Structure 1
């Protein structure tokens, strides 16, 4: 039989679709509050 053990930590990858800069900023702030500082933020695609 196998034993349950704690999983290894992982990085969360999240994509955001936003209609304007205000919504994008709010989403980034919510993610930072929930998960801590962002490791990488890519360029905005128009």
Structure 2
């Protein structure tokens, strides 16, 4: 059961990163503000 919980936790982290990169790519397309990219990254890594 503990192993399953660990796997779910890993998947959740990966999913957050995927969303983060997706948001960053949208920002890159719409603007070239480094601050926005950093904010998006911090939001998902926190």
- Of Structure 1 and Structure 2, the greater helix share is in 2
Q: What TM-score comes out, normalization by structure 1 length?
A: 0.41
